[in-house]
Amino acid sequence: MSERVLVTGGAGFIGSHIVDALLTAGHDVFVIDNLHSGRREQVNPSARFYELDLRDSEGLTTLLRREQPTAISHQAALADVRGSLRDPATYATVNVVGTLNLLEAARAAGGVRKLIFASTGGAIYGDPAELPASENCPPRPLDVYGASKLAGEYFIDTYRHNYGLDYCVLRYANIYGPRQDPRGEAGVVAIFTGAMLAGRPVIINGDGLQERDFTYVEDIARANVQAIAHGSGVYNLGTGIPTNVNTIFRELAALTDYAGPERHGPGKQGEVRITYLNSDRAARDLGWRPSIALHEGLALTADYFRAQGEG
């Protein structure tokens, strides 16, 4: 069944892929984005675009009353671990108050039956009490970004309790792929790829043995589409396969013909050592499993950046 879906942050890396996937599935899509990190040209022309900030509560309410969405995919957020430690107040305002503004706008507009919320499996569990981390693993974020996402989850749950707004919280692993910003502070695959294609030095933080669950962005977009119609509650989205950063460096070096040395710098504050996710609940309730293996996803990413002239 076709729905009218709002994608917040739909000009960004993950959000723009979700917009594409929703349109392909036959949904009517509109986007809000303040273009802080998103790019207008990444928004599919078949989606309606509104430049709007989550902190503008009045503007949000006016727009949702006019557009009358039946579902929301809430991707907009500040999402850098180290940035959140430098500026915790801004992260709380955008990620927590912004989410509350959206919830209130949805309540005022009426008609929204489901919210899909982009959370973080990479940061919300901290150093996980179990590996792979399941949804039953106690959340204990080590940084303000993870804490802000956990707060958002709790607020969303109160809106189901008090107002009947159904939701799927999707806790993402480490997402990579085309359209990720190679000039940002987060996103090691994009950063390495951009530097390697430009022939610039690549610096690995710490010893490079920190392990992550690298999951391709189109798999995440597909999960958001499936969550429109299926599931309710909290779901991890990841491959369940840990890969260390040194391995990412070596794979990308081979894909980009990079001949530079493997250089290491100091480790970073707030960084989790090892995290990867158990996504069995998403397989059961959403019918979702990742389909793109790491080597294939890295090759697709390198090809994209090469075609874009990144670096």
**Annotated active-site positions, please?**
145
- Cα 38 to chain center, whole Å? 13
Half-sphere exposure of 84 toward its Cβ, with a 13 Å CA cutoff?
25
Q: Which tokens in the block code for residue 187?
A: 């996103």
CA distance 184 to 12: 13
* DSSP per-residue letters across 104-124: HHHHHH----EEEEEEETTTT
Which of 156, 284, 125, 291 lies closest to 220, judged by CA? 291
Between CA 206 and CA 48 the distance in angstroms is: 43
User: What gap in Å lies between CA 151 and CA 92, rounded to an integer?
Assistant: 9
Q: How many CB atoms lie within 10 A of CB 69?
A: 24
